[in-house]
Amino acid sequence: MPAVTLADDLAYAVSLPRAPRRVVSLVPSITEALATTCPERLVGATDWCTHPEGLAVQRVRGTKNPDLKAIATLAPDLVVANKEENRELDVRRLRADGIPVWVTDIETVPGALDSLERLFVEVLEVGTPDWLVSARREWDGPVTEPTVDVAVAIWRDPWMAVGRDTFTGDLVSRLGWRNVLADDADRYPHVAVADLDREGVTVLLPDEPYVFSATDGPEAFTQARTALVSGRLLTWYGPSLVGAKAALTTAVNA
Protein backbone atom coordinates (compact mmCIF):
# COMPACT_ATOMS: atom_id res chain seq x y z
CA MET A 1 0.00 0.00 0.00
CA PRO A 2 1.14 3.60 -0.45
CA ALA A 3 1.95 5.65 2.65
CA VAL A 4 -1.21 6.06 4.69
CA THR A 5 -2.38 7.45 8.02
CA LEU A 6 -5.01 5.44 9.88
CA ALA A 7 -6.73 6.06 13.22
CA ASP A 8 -6.36 3.32 15.80
CA ASP A 9 -9.09 2.37 18.30
CA LEU A 10 -8.25 5.43 20.42
CA ALA A 11 -8.41 7.70 17.36
CA TYR A 12 -4.64 8.22 17.37
CA ALA A 13 -3.28 8.87 13.88
CA VAL A 14 -0.76 6.15 12.98
CA SER A 15 1.35 6.87 9.89
CA LEU A 16 2.51 3.84 7.93
CA PRO A 17 4.78 4.04 4.88
CA ARG A 18 3.59 0.57 3.82
CA ALA A 19 1.68 -2.42 5.16
CA PRO A 20 3.75 -3.54 8.19
CA ARG A 21 6.07 -6.48 7.63
CA ARG A 22 7.73 -6.64 11.06
CA VAL A 23 5.21 -6.63 13.91
CA VAL A 24 5.72 -6.87 17.67
CA SER A 25 2.65 -7.76 19.71
CA LEU A 26 2.30 -6.78 23.36
CA VAL A 27 -1.09 -8.51 23.69
CA PRO A 28 -1.38 -12.31 24.09
CA SER A 29 -4.74 -12.51 22.31
CA ILE A 30 -3.47 -10.50 19.36
CA THR A 31 -0.21 -12.44 19.28
CA GLU A 32 -2.23 -15.63 18.78
CA ALA A 33 -4.30 -13.93 16.08
CA LEU A 34 -1.19 -12.72 14.23
CA ALA A 35 0.64 -16.04 14.55
CA THR A 36 -2.40 -17.86 13.19
CA THR A 37 -3.04 -15.44 10.32
CA CYS A 38 0.30 -14.03 9.15
CA PRO A 39 3.08 -15.71 11.17
CA GLU A 40 5.82 -14.46 8.85
CA ARG A 41 5.17 -10.88 10.03
CA LEU A 42 5.33 -11.52 13.78
CA VAL A 43 8.86 -10.89 15.07
CA GLY A 44 8.30 -10.24 18.77
CA ALA A 45 5.88 -10.99 21.60
CA THR A 46 5.67 -10.86 25.39
CA ASP A 47 6.55 -13.64 27.80
CA TRP A 48 2.79 -14.01 28.45
CA CYS A 49 2.06 -14.81 24.81
CA THR A 50 1.62 -18.57 25.24
CA HIS A 51 -0.38 -19.41 22.11
CA PRO A 52 -0.04 -20.91 19.66
CA GLU A 53 2.09 -23.48 21.43
CA GLY A 54 5.70 -23.52 20.31
CA LEU A 55 5.63 -19.89 19.19
CA ALA A 56 9.22 -19.09 18.21
CA VAL A 57 9.67 -15.32 18.20
CA GLN A 58 11.86 -12.92 20.17
CA ARG A 59 10.44 -12.30 23.66
CA VAL A 60 10.27 -8.72 24.90
CA ARG A 61 9.38 -9.28 28.58
CA GLY A 62 5.87 -8.61 29.96
CA THR A 63 2.77 -6.69 29.01
CA LYS A 64 3.24 -4.15 31.82
CA ASN A 65 7.05 -3.92 31.64
CA PRO A 66 8.08 -4.49 28.03
CA ASP A 67 11.76 -4.26 27.19
CA LEU A 68 11.68 -1.17 24.98
CA LYS A 69 15.31 -1.55 23.92
CA ALA A 70 14.70 -5.13 22.82
CA ILE A 71 11.67 -4.00 20.85
CA ALA A 72 13.68 -1.28 19.10
CA THR A 73 16.42 -3.78 18.25
CA LEU A 74 13.85 -5.83 16.34
CA ALA A 75 13.26 -2.82 14.05
CA PRO A 76 9.48 -3.28 13.93
CA ASP A 77 7.40 -1.22 11.58
CA LEU A 78 4.43 -1.71 13.93
CA VAL A 79 3.86 -2.53 17.59
CA VAL A 80 0.35 -3.65 18.54
CA ALA A 81 -0.85 -2.79 22.05
CA ASN A 82 -4.10 -2.66 24.02
CA LYS A 83 -5.51 0.11 26.20
CA GLU A 84 -6.21 -2.23 29.14
CA GLU A 85 -3.27 -4.61 28.95
CA ASN A 86 -0.44 -2.17 28.25
CA ARG A 87 0.76 1.07 29.83
CA GLU A 88 0.20 4.41 28.11
CA LEU A 89 3.73 5.39 29.22
CA ASP A 90 5.29 2.57 27.22
CA VAL A 91 3.21 3.46 24.16
CA ARG A 92 4.35 7.09 24.41
CA ARG A 93 8.01 6.07 24.74
CA LEU A 94 7.84 3.77 21.71
CA ARG A 95 6.24 6.51 19.64
CA ALA A 96 8.84 9.01 20.83
CA ASP A 97 11.48 6.62 19.42
CA GLY A 98 9.75 6.71 16.05
CA ILE A 99 8.08 3.29 16.30
CA PRO A 100 4.44 3.24 15.12
CA VAL A 101 2.08 1.79 17.74
CA TRP A 102 -1.46 0.62 17.01
CA VAL A 103 -3.57 0.60 20.21
CA THR A 104 -6.71 -1.49 20.41
CA ASP A 105 -9.59 -0.83 22.82
CA ILE A 106 -11.76 -3.89 23.40
CA GLU A 107 -14.71 -4.24 25.77
CA THR A 108 -17.15 -6.49 23.88
CA VAL A 109 -17.02 -9.57 21.67
CA PRO A 110 -18.32 -7.73 18.56
CA GLY A 111 -15.93 -4.88 19.33
CA ALA A 112 -13.02 -7.31 19.50
CA LEU A 113 -13.86 -8.84 16.15
CA ASP A 114 -14.36 -5.43 14.54
CA SER A 115 -11.04 -4.20 15.93
CA LEU A 116 -9.12 -7.25 14.75
CA GLU A 117 -10.74 -7.12 11.32
CA ARG A 118 -9.55 -3.52 10.93
CA LEU A 119 -6.05 -4.58 11.94
CA PHE A 120 -5.89 -7.39 9.41
CA VAL A 121 -7.77 -5.73 6.54
CA GLU A 122 -6.84 -2.06 6.76
CA VAL A 123 -3.46 -2.07 8.50
CA LEU A 124 -1.81 -5.36 7.53
CA GLU A 125 -3.73 -5.82 4.28
CA VAL A 126 -4.00 -9.59 4.60
CA GLY A 127 -7.79 -9.82 4.37
CA THR A 128 -10.29 -11.24 6.84
CA PRO A 129 -8.98 -14.46 8.45
CA ASP A 130 -11.13 -17.60 8.26
CA TRP A 131 -11.10 -17.94 12.06
CA LEU A 132 -12.59 -14.45 12.37
CA VAL A 133 -15.41 -15.36 10.00
CA SER A 134 -16.10 -18.47 12.10
CA ALA A 135 -15.99 -16.46 15.34
CA ARG A 136 -18.53 -13.96 14.01
CA ARG A 137 -20.82 -16.80 13.00
CA GLU A 138 -20.52 -18.34 16.47
CA TRP A 139 -21.02 -15.15 18.50
CA ASP A 140 -23.35 -13.08 16.31
CA GLY A 141 -26.89 -12.63 17.47
CA PRO A 142 -28.75 -10.77 20.19
CA VAL A 143 -27.95 -11.10 23.88
CA THR A 144 -30.67 -13.28 25.40
CA GLU A 145 -32.24 -13.14 28.83
CA PRO A 146 -29.86 -14.72 31.35
CA THR A 147 -30.65 -18.18 32.70
CA VAL A 148 -27.65 -18.62 35.02
CA ASP A 149 -26.15 -16.28 37.62
CA VAL A 150 -22.36 -16.28 37.64
CA ALA A 151 -19.44 -14.49 39.19
CA VAL A 152 -16.03 -14.51 37.53
CA ALA A 153 -13.12 -14.63 39.97
CA ILE A 154 -9.75 -13.48 38.62
CA TRP A 155 -7.58 -13.42 41.78
CA ARG A 156 -7.50 -14.45 45.42
CA ASP A 157 -5.74 -13.07 48.52
CA PRO A 158 -7.11 -10.53 47.89
CA TRP A 159 -10.12 -11.79 45.99
CA MET A 160 -10.96 -9.92 42.80
CA ALA A 161 -13.67 -10.50 40.20
CA VAL A 162 -14.99 -9.18 36.91
CA GLY A 163 -17.23 -6.14 37.30
CA ARG A 164 -18.69 -3.72 34.78
CA ASP A 165 -17.83 -2.94 31.14
CA THR A 166 -15.36 -5.72 30.33
CA PHE A 167 -14.82 -8.07 27.43
CA THR A 168 -15.31 -11.05 29.74
CA GLY A 169 -18.53 -9.60 31.10
CA ASP A 170 -19.88 -9.16 27.60
CA LEU A 171 -18.84 -12.68 26.63
CA VAL A 172 -20.60 -14.05 29.72
CA SER A 173 -23.81 -12.25 28.78
CA ARG A 174 -23.66 -13.75 25.28
CA LEU A 175 -23.57 -17.19 26.86
CA GLY A 176 -26.91 -16.46 28.53
CA TRP A 177 -25.38 -15.86 31.95
CA ARG A 178 -25.78 -12.89 34.28
CA ASN A 179 -22.67 -11.51 35.92
CA VAL A 180 -23.85 -10.71 39.46
CA LEU A 181 -21.19 -7.99 39.72
CA ALA A 182 -22.01 -6.34 36.40
CA ASP A 183 -23.31 -3.22 38.16
CA ASP A 184 -20.31 -2.80 40.41
CA ALA A 185 -18.66 0.63 40.28
CA ASP A 186 -15.31 -0.96 39.36
CA ARG A 187 -14.34 -2.99 36.34
CA TYR A 188 -12.33 -5.42 38.46
CA PRO A 189 -13.50 -4.94 42.05
CA HIS A 190 -11.89 -6.31 45.17
CA VAL A 191 -14.49 -8.51 46.84
CA ALA A 192 -15.03 -10.60 49.93
CA VAL A 193 -15.70 -14.31 49.47
CA ALA A 194 -19.20 -13.64 50.83
CA ASP A 195 -19.86 -11.35 47.85
CA LEU A 196 -19.44 -14.37 45.56
CA ASP A 197 -20.51 -17.25 47.77
CA ARG A 198 -24.27 -17.04 47.22
CA GLU A 199 -26.95 -19.66 46.80
CA GLY A 200 -27.85 -19.98 43.12
CA VAL A 201 -24.61 -18.48 41.85
CA THR A 202 -21.91 -20.34 39.91
CA VAL A 203 -18.43 -18.95 40.52
CA LEU A 204 -16.20 -19.34 37.48
CA LEU A 205 -12.59 -20.07 38.43
CA PRO A 206 -10.30 -19.63 35.40
CA ASP A 207 -6.70 -20.77 35.21
CA GLU A 208 -5.44 -17.26 34.48
CA PRO A 209 -4.45 -14.69 35.54
CA TYR A 210 -4.64 -16.53 38.88
CA VAL A 211 -4.17 -20.25 38.42
CA PHE A 212 -7.27 -21.61 40.12
CA SER A 213 -7.31 -25.40 40.33
CA ALA A 214 -9.26 -28.23 41.93
CA THR A 215 -7.27 -27.74 45.14
CA ASP A 216 -6.99 -23.95 45.05
CA GLY A 217 -10.27 -22.05 44.87
CA PRO A 218 -13.34 -24.28 45.14
CA GLU A 219 -12.72 -24.97 48.84
CA ALA A 220 -13.43 -21.30 49.65
CA PHE A 221 -17.11 -21.65 48.74
CA THR A 222 -19.84 -23.36 50.72
CA GLN A 223 -23.04 -22.06 49.06
CA ALA A 224 -22.17 -21.21 45.45
CA ARG A 225 -21.35 -23.80 42.82
CA THR A 226 -17.90 -23.51 41.28
CA ALA A 227 -16.68 -24.31 37.79
CA LEU A 228 -13.04 -24.52 36.72
CA VAL A 229 -12.75 -23.01 33.24
CA SER A 230 -10.11 -22.05 30.71
CA GLY A 231 -9.02 -18.48 31.24
CA ARG A 232 -8.00 -18.24 27.61
CA LEU A 233 -11.51 -19.15 26.45
CA LEU A 234 -13.04 -16.70 28.90
CA THR A 235 -10.78 -13.66 28.48
CA TRP A 236 -8.88 -13.89 25.18
CA TYR A 237 -10.19 -12.48 21.91
CA GLY A 238 -9.04 -13.98 18.64
CA PRO A 239 -8.88 -17.59 17.39
CA SER A 240 -9.71 -18.76 20.93
CA LEU A 241 -13.28 -17.53 20.38
CA VAL A 242 -13.91 -20.33 17.89
CA GLY A 243 -15.45 -23.18 19.86
CA ALA A 244 -15.32 -21.25 23.14
CA LYS A 245 -19.09 -21.00 23.50
CA ALA A 246 -19.65 -24.76 23.55
CA ALA A 247 -16.58 -25.47 25.71
CA LEU A 248 -17.50 -22.92 28.39
CA THR A 249 -21.15 -23.99 28.43
CA THR A 250 -20.10 -27.61 28.92
CA ALA A 251 -17.69 -26.68 31.75
CA VAL A 252 -20.35 -24.74 33.63
CA ASN A 253 -23.11 -27.29 33.11
CA ALA A 254 -20.95 -30.27 34.09
CB 139 within 8 A of CB 110: yes
List pLDDT tens digits, range 84-141: 999 999 999 999 999 999 999 999 999 999 999 999 999 999 999 999 999 999 998 8
Decide if 143 is inside a domain.
no
Predicted TM-score of the model (pTM): 0.93
Q: Are residues 24 and 122 in the same domain?
A: yes
Q: For position 13, what pLDDT does the model report?
A: 97
Say whether both 23 and 128 belong to one domain: yes
Confidence of residue 143 (pLDDT cuts 50, 70, 90): confident
Encode pLDDT of 216-245 as tens digits: 999 999 999 999 999 999 999 999 999 999
Residues 201-229, mean pLDDT to the nearest whole number: 97
Range of the domain at 82: 4-138
Q: Which of 138, 160, 187 is the last residue of a domain?
A: 138
The CATH code of the domain that includes 74 is 3.40.50.1980
Neighbours of 216 (CB within 10 A): 13
49 and 114 co-located in one domain: yes
Question: Kindly report the CA angle at 239 between 236 and 245, in degrees rounded to 5?
Answer: 70
Regarding whether 81 and 37 lie in a shared domain, the answer is yes
Is residue 88 domain-resident? yes
Question: In this model, does residue 254 exceed pLDDT 80?
Answer: no
Is there a single domain that holds both residue 61 and residue 176? no
In-domain check, residue 69: yes
**Is 116 in the same domain as 161?**
no
